[in-house]
Structure 1
Amino acid sequence: MALKADLRKDYLRRRRQMAPDQIEACSQQITDLFFALFAPRPGQTVHTFLPIEKQQEINTWPLVHRLWQQQVEVAVPVSHPVDTSMTHFLITPDTTFQESLWGIPEPVNALPVPEAEIDLALVPLLAFDLKGHRVGYGKGFYDRFLALLPKATPKIGLALEPPVEVIDDVHVHDLALDAVVTPDQVYRF
């Protein structure tokens, strides 16, 4: 039985065992595969997460720079621990960042972006299943965010590893992703 808490613990352990150069190589493969299969257009807004280095997350900075090169607007979240909500802000190459309580780079003095203006959302995850359900860190920030996006907005996870067959304790508020990009393949749901 694959329960979220067990998957979270296992996949965090597995990720911590990856060498930094392996994370970088996987991050580049994910970026290349994303751009090969998804084509954000100039003027669109793509929401992405920025990597928490101490958690050895996928490095999304190369992806951000390629989006900017293609004249795509980039939005990133600022997390609010009290109510586990997020607000979203446009970033540019000139944006200043500060680390949050969790080590997340967050923009300072950036322009807010409403969820309705996000054309595509890139979502962090630890594990996912063949139905597009994800396991995150367990606080529900992204579950709340995904529920606020228009239904037509593509929700794409970025993962270092392939899926598990099924996550057994999916809840009603757990929205499935539309796709997940791994270093080797894209899974569509």
Structure 2
Amino acid sequence: MSDATIEEAKAALRAAAHKKRAAFHPSLRSEAAAEAARHFFDSVPIANNEVVAGYWPIRDEMDVKSVIARLMDAGQPVCLPVVLGDEQPLELRLWQDGAPLYEAGFGTLAPPEEAPRAAPDVILMPLLGFDKHGTRLGYGGGYYDRTLASLQKRPRLIGFAFALQEVDHIPREAHDVPLDAIVTETGVRNFEKAPAS
């Protein structure tokens, strides 16, 4: 499959995924987010010193604010992403206890510019879709792809989504890093690592 064909297929999948997620009733979304948070804490091991990169949800993304709050309450180092520019990786800033958050573009909130930068051990990722192989369908801006390519070590990638966001197949390109696990309201699914070629 050519790069152009893959991009066309992904664009069609994104359009369908946006509609499907937007149609999920808001009251069901909040219940699903609470269930997903419970599954995350029951089934995803996080060591005390691991830095967790969260995200501030926008539009109809799965809300992980309760996950972030609980991690911070437990003393876990948490950072949030900031978009610096269209072709740049995300900047990951530590959110220190009690520090205010500021508008960071795209409707997200993030720690202030002077907050320390962090290299995460775990990244909680929003997404539009995922498949049974752990392939993540993002928004097409490449922010997480560039961020992962810029990091010295590969963090564990944990997607957060509603179960209805699963699709049969998402074409995977060379730069697409698969998820290690997906957390939905129905549970946590870990993905097998593809053998090195």
Alignment of 1:1-189 (within 5 A): 3-52=9-58, 55-115=59-119, 118-149=120-151, 150-151=153-154, 153-162=155-164, 163-168=166-171, 170-189=172-191
* 8 A contact 1:29–1:183 mirrored in 2: yes
Point out the structure with the larger strand share: 1
Deviation digits for residues 102-132 of structure 1, max 9, x if unmatched? 11112224523342xx221111111011111
Deviation of 1:93 after TM superposition, in Å, equals 3.8
Q: Distance in 2 between matches of 1:36 and 1:121?
A: 17
Q: Distance in 2 between matches of 1:133 and 1:60?
A: 20
Change (3 A) 1:15 1:41: same
Structure 1 gaps of 5+ residues are none
The DSSP-based 3-state class of the residue aligned with 1:28 is: helix
The DSSP-based 3-state class of the residue aligned with 2:91 is: strand
Letter aligned with residue 167 of structure 1:
I
* 8 A contact 2:94–2:118 mirrored in 1: no
Letter aligned with residue 75 of structure 1:
C
- TM-score (norm: length of structure 1): 0.88
Q: Distance in 1 between matches of 2:9 and 2:127?
A: 15
The DSSP-based 3-state class of the residue aligned with 1:50 is: coil
Deviation of 1:100 after TM superposition, in Å, equals 3.0
Deviation of 1:148 after TM superposition, in Å, equals 3.3
| Runs of 4+ residues deviating >6 angstroms | none
Same amino acid, percent of matched pairs:
30
Structure 2 gaps of 5+ residues are 1-5, 192-197
Deviates more, 1:23-32 or 1:13-22: 13-22
- TM-score (norm: length of structure 2): 0.85
Quote the RMSD (CA, aligned, Å): 1.9
